[in-house]
Amino acid sequence: MHQNIGFRLSRLPRLWRAIIDRRLAPLGLTQTRWITLYHLWRLGDGQPQCDLARAIGVEAPSLVRTLDQLSEQGLIERCPCDQDRRTKRVFLTAAADPLLEQIDEVVTQARREMLAGLSDEEVQRLDALLEHIENNGLEIQARESEG
Domains of the chain: 2-116 (1.10.10.10)
Residue burial 80-89, b: 16+ Cβ < 10 Å; e: rest? eeeeeeeebb
Q: What does the pLDDT read at residue 65?
A: 93
Work out the mean pLDDT of the chain and round it to a whole number.
Answer: 92
Assessment of whether the complete model's pTM goes beyond 0.85: no
* Spatial distance between the Cα atoms of 108 and 41, rounded to a whole number of angstroms: 14
Residue 79's H or E segment, with its range, is strand 76-80
Gap between the terminal Cα atoms of the chain: 32
Q: Give every strand in the sheet of 47-48, ordered side by side.
A: 47-48, 88-92, 76-80
User: Residue 147: which pLDDT band, with cuts at 50, 70 and 90?
Assistant: low
* Spatial distance between the Cα atoms of 47 and 78, rounded to a whole number of angstroms: 10
39 pLDDT above the threshold of 90 = yes
60/15: higher pLDDT: 15
Summarised one tens digit per residue, pLDDT across range 73-106 is 999 999 887 777 678 899 999 999 999 999 999 9
* Spatial distance between the Cα atoms of 115 and 122, rounded to a whole number of angstroms: 10
Q: Are strands 76-80 and 47-48 parallel, antiparallel or unpaired?
A: unpaired
* Spatial distance between the Cα atoms of 93 and 129, rounded to a whole number of angstroms: 36
